[in-house]
Structure 1
Amino acid sequence: MDPNQNRPQGRRKNVTSGGSGAHRRGEGLGTGPVGSGSYSGGQTGGGGGAKRAAAGGGGLVTLLIIGFIIFKLFSGSGGGGGDLLGSLTGGSGGVDIGSVPSGFGFSTEDTASGSLTSDNAVDTNVATGSREKRTVIKGNNQDVVTIMVYMCGTDLESKYGMASSDMEEMRSASYGDNVNVIVFTGGCSKWKVSGISNKVNQIYQIKNGQIGRLVEDAGSKAMTDPNNLASFIQFCAKNFPANRNELILWDHGGGSVTGYGYDEKNKNSGSMSLAGIKQALKSGGVQFDFIGFDACLMATAETALMLNDYADYLIASEETEPGIGWYYTRWLTELGKNTSMSTLDIGKNIVDDFVSECAKKCRGQKTTLSVIDLAEFSNTVPSKLSSFAKSVSTKISNDEYKDISNARYATREFAESSRIDQVDLVNLAENVGTTEGKALADALRNAVKYNLTSSNMTNAYGVSIYFPYQRTSYVDSACNTYDKIGMDSEYSKCIKQFAKLETGGQIAAGGT
């Protein structure tokens, strides 16, 4: 009998492209059998999405979700019609839908005094030559902060009430008029909170302990449509102007190749690729203090390089996220006390609260969360990543490919059972053992300003990258994404060389 079978398990917000069969949820992740299921999806709409790659051809986009039902079910709501997001200034005048009903099974208490505070220090140093931060903090608690939460509820909400749980955590926070928490809802067939539509997208403001509806009908576009995200950003900028803007993308996440999001109501829309996210941010026209992913696997080098033009910091996880996701109450309350708090301190609070809550409520599950300085990352990492890629290519050309295979085999891999081939980049660079690898690892450690993991997670230093090994079918779509987000071609060349050896049978997954 599996000793984990009867333990409460959290969701894994994880989108992966899989083979022809459905994965059993919990498979290979040490969380016990909790059922099975798969979802298919197409290419990303409107964003130049990654192809649905699978060994042997067509393939399916498989959502690997590990969840447990800890919530009592409540009926979803209907909602209005309409299909345009262009003019979002109408709505229902901020109708109050109250708070989440009791009985969901999650805690609503403010654990400000009980959350773990890591002894790790935030690194405030910045490498010479890094650009100035685009967000200018006024100081003396004079800053106005708008937090945009793009909440694609999907099956995480319809089955488990997890979006409702996080909205309740936001509602339970205490902050004043200089903090705007604006939530865009959609992508879900049934919301646990009575009043949130499962027919159309909507916009809410969470303020003074209440959840108020700002826009009754924000259209029915897929949540993975970049134009939808762009319109939400524009709405917030117009109606809640602030000198500090934050964006949180809430849903499943699939990392470098698959990207962000899955819309339960628009299953054929696929995910939003990194190129699609870039398109949305460019159209949105807002510079962000930080962009965070309350989703799996998005703390990648590819994500960080893509985001540099649009944000100062990235907050994301290398590994799949346990079910409860971020814990919102305490860090929002602390921000409300001082809206001039440094972004690094905000990030530290988010990371500490996440790891602490997961340790208490999702025992045994591996957790990671890091804060990456995008200004420093874009300054120091690209050239060193290019040099590292060249050193790998040289080894392959000199028939030293076994060194690369062994290094990759020994490297920390994330969502391993899903075979998406995302590995910790510091760990990989150090395992390769070249001078260029060491220089890259040093630059990465310095660009990651704060990183915390669960005690059972090793060799996770805050930034991952796609490196083919368990399968090669993602290589073309990865390199296509790299072209669209402006990554250096040397890394594409490097992984193509390695994949060619794999397909030629010279390298087999499992070492030399």
Structure 2
Amino acid sequence: MTLDKFCDALNKAGCRFDFIGFDACLMATVETAVAAEPYADYLIASEETEPGVGWYYTNWLTKLSQNTSMDTVEIGKNIIDDFVTVCYKNSPSDKTTLSITDLAEFSGTVPPALTAFAAATSKLVDSDDYRIVSDARANCREFSPQNKLNQVDLIHLAKNMGTKEALALADALSGAVKYNRTSRSMTNSYGLSIYFPYQKLSGVSSMLSVYQSIGMDESYGDCIKDFASIVSAGQVAPASSGNSGTGSLLGALLGEYGGALSGGSASDGLDVASLLTSFLSDGDFASIIGGRSTEWVDRDLIKRNAERIANTTLAPDRLVYTVKNGQEVLALTEEEWGLVQTIELNVFYDDGEGFIDLGLDNVYTFNADGDLAASYDGTWLALNGHIVPYYLIDSVEDGDAYSIRGRVPAYLNGERVELILLFDDRNPYGVVAGARRVYENGETDAVMRGLIALRDGDTLDFLCDYYDYDGNYQASYMMGDRFVVDGEIEISNVAIEDNVSLASFRLTDIYGNAYWTPTFTN
């Protein structure tokens, strides 16, 4: 049920609730609060996906039956405390969040603060300070990131932005959220998330339609349109420059050099800017965005910023290795590194007929000069000694506490899943937290609740992407022999057989573009 239908149902019910609680995933959002506020005093919901056990109803209902005049916030605290405690006992590796928000206070303080935040953010986007917004978004706590839902913690986003309007919004939200509790690994989760598109832009149009239906602040809708418009233009710019193969995975596998971060010469930037402006007239943004509706794209905004966008994307001569002190390194300027938001190691195994993609991990080293070393130790992640494809999901640090999650594509007893691996300060060598079902072929956009526990006797067939020697994707194939679960699964790093492997770094820029460096061996 979409939020506009949720609003309609509550309106037809004709009553007001003490609280509306969602024993469901990903519902502690500003949008949900806006939709629920006319019909309830409080909202109880989770920012993250909920573990399969859900709420523990026994205790809080018993306490309520013993004191029916209990304050609503106290009821909420009981629900939240029991939920987090019981979830940890049943599935300690699962991420858990639950909060209670005072909707009356929310409606009085958050909308004006959100309006000011949105207006200030739009000004940053329409200026040389776009990177402030992009970096804040890229480094923000995101929920269910593997599903690219674009839901981020709004307080964390605001704190990352650091503007006076953003900090005022964070204060207003903190006041409205009366109680919030999370599992230990869920740092920077403060109680309410919001839709802020970045990795996937195809949902912008439908979300704007929902915003209109529920009465969401119009200036915030304009803000995300502005940001998404610049992101989409930043993704158009490399292709419009004629260097679409530069810095690509295909180019890396074929050993092609070229492609860079930064603007190159001024003439290069102006050329790309003119090409981008031309694309605005004749190009199809749907091919970039991935959605049918592109009316929200602000072409005037893009035209005003075309030169700046061009000067902060690819130049064809910088993504190359140089040798310093006998070591190959990627040496970029401080300004150029400032355009890079993530670095991931991408390793490929040569099986004699093509390349098996072993995945992406956050493994890399900078030398004392600030250069990225073109080296790795020749090992890859393995389960019980068997190398498997592994892809980083997210990595969060908060003081001494840290949490790293990754996924392993597989079939569990014939069903398509991803194994979720967790590394944190309590499990430094990692644990297999469970399996999450993957919905294929557009079966549904829903996010599965909780993880499937692995049991002895379960069968696992690991899935890898395969490329031929021309760098063309062929298909996804089963990798290795069938794996039968028998006791606890050990995670380790294993040397790749005969050192037959190639590695490349995937760099992601401030527009969400991914570029691969030339390949190297260990």
TM-score by length of 2: 0.45
The structure with the greater share of residues assigned to strand is 2
Which structure would you say has the larger Rg? 2
Structure number with greater CO (CA < 8 Å, separation at least 6) is 1
